[in-house]
Amino acid sequence: MEEADTGDLLLFKSTSAPSFLTRTFTNSYFDHVAMILKFESDENEIFLVEATGNNGVSLNKWSNLRSHVGNNEFYERIIYRHIECERDDKMVDSLEQFLKEAIG
């Protein structure tokens, strides 16, 4: 995980009933997605941007989430996906603007 680039994704398979319904209606193995971010101000931490029904769009530390992954945990499985896109200044500026508007 430490080598993740800004904009890569994590796909989640959760154990909750609403997550099961989401997977059923979307015919998907996964029910949640988060974007991976790293910041120069905290180079040793990985952050996740995700939208949840409880909190809306939020920024969370991977170190706070990883204990909830595994057998008999909230997240049964997480899959990493690298996204191929040009990570130029325009993309980074647009992402920063989105984060300011969505998270505050």
The pLDDT tens digits for 11-35 are: 999 999 999 999 999 999 999 999 9
Give residue 87's domain range: 9-103
Tally of domains in the chain:
1
Helix boundaries (H) for 1-104: 17-26, 62-65, 89-103
Whether the per-residue pLDDT at 102 is higher than 90: the answer is no
Q: pLDDT by residue (tens digit) across 45-74?
A: 999 998 877 778 888 899 998 899 988 889
Does 1 reside within a domain? no
Does 2 reside within a domain? no
β-bridge partners, 52 = 56
Strands (E), the chain: 9-14, 32-39, 42-52, 56-61, 75-81
Rounded-to-integer distance, Cα 20 and Cα 45, Å: 30
The answer to whether residues 1 and 35 touch, using CB atoms and an 8 Å cutoff, is: no
Does 34 reside within a domain? yes
